[in-house]
């Protein structure tokens, strides 16, 4: 009787362990970012003066984000800009991704921040970071 109970408990523990491993390895949204271009302006939807260093006088930074969406399911991405020395936080925007295999969208940020290093973070609808790009803001 003890042997049978032990085997049952062991079986349940293995099943629970297998289920947890399946959850950890489950694919996220399947989205991937193929390109993030930072620029001072947009002209006809295209980045103008792309770069990674911007002055406070520039006023704005545009982040043009190209996304691959193999599931072709409508979803969202979050695009945030945070100080490079912080692991979380920052101000950003949620952008719609339509049910298409590829999509390009744009987020806009102000350069009226303290001089220093910043990171533009693109996250899927589940909050998983799928891309980061570093930039510098000067006086």
The CATH homologous superfamily of the domain defined by 32-138: Immunoglobulins (2.60.40.10)
- The pair of structure tokens assigned to 118 is 């910043």
CB count in 10 Å sphere of residue 65: 23
Res 91: pLDDT: 78
Residue 96: left (phi > 0), alpha (psi -120 to 50), or beta? beta
Res 24: pLDDT: 39
CA distance 108 to 79: 9
CB count in 10 Å sphere of residue 80: 22
Confidence bin at 4 (pLDDT 50/70/90): low
What's the whole-model pTM score? 0.77
6-56 residue pLDDT tens: 444 534 443 444 444 333 333 456 899 999 999 999 999 999 999 999 999
């Amino acid at each position: 009787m003890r042997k049978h109970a032990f085997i049952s408990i062991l079986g349940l523990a293995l099943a629970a362990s297998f289920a947890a491993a399946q959850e950890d390895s489950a694919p996220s949204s399947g989205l991937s970012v193929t390109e993030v271009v930072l620029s001072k302006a947009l002209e006809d939807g295209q980045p103008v003066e792309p770069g990674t260093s911007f002055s406070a006088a520039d006023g704005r930074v545009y982040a043009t984000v190209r996304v691959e969406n193999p599931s072709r399911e409508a979803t969202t991405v979050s695009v945030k800009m945070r100080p490079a020395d912080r692991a979380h936080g920052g101000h950003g925007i949620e952008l719609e991704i339509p049910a298409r295999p590829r999509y390009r969208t744009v987020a806009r940020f102000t350069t009226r921040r303290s001089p220093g290093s910043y990171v533009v973070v693109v996250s899927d609808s589940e909050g998983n970071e799928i891309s980061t790009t570093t930039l510098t803001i000067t006086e």
